[in-house]
Structure 1
Amino acid sequence: MKHVLVTGGAGFIGSHFVKRIIRTEDVARVTVLDALTYAGHIENLGMAFLSDKLRFVHGDIRDAAVVDSLMASGPTAVVHFAAES
């Protein structure tokens, strides 16, 4: 089973991806890392929080300690949607 780390998963595009992938059978865990700035809103994840597969981490991808910690948890894939314009 896969563990997917999604950066920027509370943004518009990232949240749609999370809601879709969380429903797949071969994904056991989805970790969302988001700084919740102007583009990321926890509400975007909505019903995804009902899934026991979802783990949300409020943090910034520029924080090496946070990213190192999440990578140590062994994700099998990283999908990157975090961005600032």
Structure 2
Amino acid sequence: MRVLVTGGAGFIGSEYVRQRLRSDPALRVTVLDCLTYSGVEANLASVADHPGYRFVRGDICDPDVVDQVMAGHDAVVHFAAESHVDRSIEGAGPFVRTN
């Protein structure tokens, strides 16, 4: 099975990726993340050399990126989101666009 995980470099998404790859060695996981303030590629360092892992830096709001990355995947697990309330008060635009 091939799974696309959006926002997979964030706190919750990266834990999901690490657990899934540990529990199912045959699983193929692609992480799509644009690495904003909450996405940190280092969160996935422990699986970086896993043969079933692939990282793509890109924005889920870019239809061309999503079309390219989604090809060949069986499922999508969506964790990409803006999550800091204080930031949403200062500027709601990115929250509406991403979430």
Give the TM-score taking structure 2 as reference length. Answer: 0.79
Provide the residue aligned with 2:76 in structure 1.
78
Segments of structure 2 that go 5 or more residues without pairing to the other structure are: 84-99
How is 1:1-85 mapped onto 2 (pairs within 5 angstroms)? 2-25=1-24, 27-72=26-71, 74-85=72-83
Q: Choose 1 or 2 for highest CA Rg.
A: 2
> What's the secondary structure of 1:40's corresponding residue?
coil
Q: Which has the higher contact order (CA 8 A, sep 6+)?
A: 1
User: Residues of 1 paired with 2:49 and 2:75: CA distance?
Assistant: 22
Provide runs of 4+ in structure 1 moved above 4 Å.
none
Q: Output the aligned Cα RMSD.
A: 1.2
Sequence identity (%): 58
> CA offsets per residue over residues 18-38 of structure 1, 9 Å max, x none?
001112337431000000000
**Which has a greater percent of strand?**
1
